[in-house]
Chains A and B, each alone.
Chain A
Amino acid sequence: MEPINIVKSVITPLDRKNVDTDQIISKEFLKRIERTGFGKYLFYHWRYDENGNENPDFVLNKPEYKGSQILVAQDNFGCGSSREHAPWAILDYGFRVIIAPSFADIFHNNCFKNGILPVKLKEEEVDEILAKGLQKPYTVEVNLTEQTVTGEDGAVYHFNIDPYYKEMLLNGWDEIALTFKYEDKIKAYEEKRIVFK
């Protein structure tokens, strides 16, 4: 997993709440057996019309946001299905950071396993960032070490993050390798585990 610390880019303002993983990656694209190649299907039914042409009104298709690495959305981002194809599509498309007031649990966990930083800010702060980004392209710098989001206009927003996941993202660690260090404890647990015949 690619380590992450500082990401600076124009934001992509997706002013919607309850964005579910069916929208992020639709079921017809879940049949691949690889982790890569999902980026072109990200938000497919919002991005393209029935004939496969780009929908010019959808935010990802607007030229001013091309190359953006930071997605900003409303409450409960990533709700619904557990499909990790959703963060794979987000990462493959080029986003490294998602800013929202809240995230659905499974999606939130999935982000950490893939080197995506989910940043939780207060609702009014997200509203402010979205408003700026919708008016004209707005660039921010996200700094994981400092736990800050700094706007091009000097606005600074602080965020909290679980220290365990922070370390993991900063170092790009493989969680399974870390867990193997506790193998003795797993073995000991297995010996005393309650099992009925």
Chain B
Amino acid sequence: MNDYINLHDVNLFYGTNQALKDVKLQAAKHEITAFIGPSGCGKSTLLRCLNRMNDLIPNVKITGEISVAGESLYGANTDVESLRKNIGMVFQAPNPFMMSIYDNIAFGPRRFGVKSKAILDEIVEKSLRAAVLWDEVKDQLKKSGLSLSGGQQQRLCIARALSVEPDVLLMDEATASLDPISTMKIEELVQQLKKDYTIVMVTHNMQQAARVSDKTCFFLNGEVIESAPTKTLFNNPEDKRTEDYITGRFG
């Protein structure tokens, strides 16, 4: 299962501007794969190919092959909504909806037709527990999701992503706007989530990649320069550019 997520020769163009060049990449099931690299290197762009969020931007052209669990994401009869349900995403800044904590979590299941209050209650509790937020909010589920602190909001967003039982969780610099304590909580959470989910994360923070991930991919100018088990990549980088980047000589 080392190629649970498999990318083959992926090219992406914004109009005429090429943002990804011949990306080849594999990510294993129940592992955490981290994308690192300087700003504008294409790591977030690639992450957004995995749940087809790039579809929302006009004039994007993607070539090559991307598959998860052997199923092509860009096939002719891929159902985008089901695909996004199976591949959840957490964003850089917490973005809870302007509704109660409960409704934030119930939003996804409701979209897919879950109506029973009992089942929704169960999903809400399960998702909040999985995101280690339940104990903090169980008495205030009716309060607005926006009333929580930044770190809590981000865990709410993780819980929301888990509510539709995805297989893969994409995290786009999910701790970039959080303080160190909230960041640590999320990192611990990600370690636990790995048992049930396959996680791909983009991070600016190399220590975070080193601490959390099993595999790290280094991006530069839209290309994957090196991708290896995290320990190998950080201790014995093969490519000079990787070494320069992780030792802080540029970027």
Pair from one complex:
no
Binding site for B on A (CB under 8 A): none
